[in-house]
């Protein structure tokens, strides 16, 4: 079987990671990296281009991974769709729902695969937890608790001053990961409330937010988000899936509770009643075994299979749009102080 020829757009932090993964995949060939910075292109060691159009017209890759700045996702993704080239767009699918919708509609109309890089959907941890919920092991899901608490260093903001401004905070940068994960685990989110604060850093953008969620199935959830909190309770620091972060194996960032039991993620501690459900009765406790693999690598394997026509996208443009719509609703609720319904 011939190798899938892939171009990567963007030679930043996540773009370079995609380059590494494509190079390591025996079924892929990295044909180009697109970036405006000549030094960034040269550092990758393959033929580089400044313009995506030159790659699409000249090299005609089998697939494109878009890891450019968020504000360019819609433009770059749409150009791939218009060229008939399957494309994996890093999350968020675009800077806004309004920008994302034309790209998603164009992909659906043309029948061109558009995938969104919510890589946790390819996590064995998330898949196993979702199976437990859907199989009814917890009974009816009633309550969801989550958090993403971490401390971004000061140089994170000095390196990119836009991160201090509206749109650069943890709601639009980090929360979209959590929203997509919770949707995968618990179903669609139909309403949100939120309050945000910038008390610690005093930037125009928030550093902390408390969020209430209503799920379509009736469950309620709370989520605590902060990028100035000295805590290990975040997916990156608990899941052991990203070697770039220190890991704390005894911590959880999600708790899913139903009428018959509860599951803590990512420790995968499962507690279900052995007899009659009652707080007087002891739980039967176990730890669900999970094969931990790099979700980014699994995402690339999936993209290759989609390009070859072997499978349908796990996270298509429409799914990415839904997670972005919820995240925008949280930002609106935090800004206005008014509950927001998610259509």
Nearest alpha-carbon partner for 71 in 88, 50, 96: 96
Q: What does the mean pLDDT of the chain come to?
A: 95
* SS3 call for 78: helix
For 23-40, the pLDDT digits (tens) are 999 999 999 999 998 888
User: Residue ranges of the domains in the chain?
Assistant: 4-116, 121-293+325-341
Percent of the chain, pLDDT > 90?
Answer: 83
pLDDT at 164: 83
One of 3.30.460.10, 3.40.190.10, 3.40.50.720, 3.30.360.10 is the CATH number of 121-293+325-341, namely 3.30.360.10
Examine the pLDDT at 292 and tell me if it is beyond 90. Answer: no
Dump pLDDT digits (tens) for 193-226: 999 999 888 888 899 999 999 999 999 999 999 9
Say if CB 324 and CB 97 are below 8 A apart. Answer: yes
Bridge partners of 287, per DSSP, are 269
Superfamily of domain covering 4-116: NAD(P)-binding Rossmann-like Domain (3.40.50.720)
Identify the pLDDT of residue 158. Answer: 84
Q: Across residues 284-310, what is the average pLDDT?
A: 96
> Does 159 have pLDDT greater than 80?
no
Between residues 148 and 155, the one the model is more confident about: 148
Q: So what's the pLDDT on residue 73?
A: 95
Q: CB burial class (10 A; 0-12, 13-18, 19+) of residue 38?
A: exposed
In this structure, what are the phi and psi dihedrals at residue 201, rounded to the nearest 5 degrees?
-90, -25
């Amino acid at each position: 079987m011939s190798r899938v020829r892939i171009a990567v757009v963007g030679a930043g932090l996540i773009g370079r990671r995609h380059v590494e993964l494509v190079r390591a995949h025996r079924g892929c060939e990295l044909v180009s990296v697109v970036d405006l910075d000549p030094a960034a292109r040269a550092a990758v060691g393959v033929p580089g281009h400044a313009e995506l159009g030159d790659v699409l017209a000249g090299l005609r890759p089998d697939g494109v991974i878009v890891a450019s700045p968020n504000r360019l996702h819609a433009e770059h993704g749409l150009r791939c769709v218009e060229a008939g080239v399957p494309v994996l767009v890093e999350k968020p699918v675009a800077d806004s729902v309004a920008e994302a919708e034309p790209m998603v509609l164009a992909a659906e109309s043309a029948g061109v695969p558009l995938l969104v890089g919510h890589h946790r959907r390819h996590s064995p941890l998330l898949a196993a937890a979702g199976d437990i919920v859907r199989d009814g092991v917890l009974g009816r899901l009633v309550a969801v608790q989550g958090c993403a608490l971490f401390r971004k260093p000061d140089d994170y903001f000095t390196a990119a001053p836009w991160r201090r401004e509206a749109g650069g905070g943890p709601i639009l940068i980090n929360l979209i990961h959590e929203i997509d994960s919770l949707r995968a685990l618990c179903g669609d989110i139909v309403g949100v409330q939120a309050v945000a604060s910038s008390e610690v850093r005093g930037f125009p953008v928030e550093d902390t937010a408390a969020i209430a969620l209503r799920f379509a199935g009736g469950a309620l959830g709370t989520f605590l988000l902060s990028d100035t909190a000295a805590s290990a309770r975040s997916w990156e620091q608990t899941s052991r899936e990203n070697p770039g972060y220190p890991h704390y194996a005894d911590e959880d960032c999600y708790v899913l509770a139903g009428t018959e039991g509860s599951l803590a993620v990512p420790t995968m501690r499962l507690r279900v009643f052995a007899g009659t459900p009652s707080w007087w009765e002891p739980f039967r406790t176990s730890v669900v075994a999970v094969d931990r693999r790099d979700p980014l690598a699994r995402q690339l394997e999936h993209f290759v299979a989609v390009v070859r026509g072997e499978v349908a996208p796990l996270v298509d443009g429409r799914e990415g749009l839904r997670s972005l719509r919820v995240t925008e609703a949280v930002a609106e609720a935090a800004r206005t102080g008014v509950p927001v319904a998610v259509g």
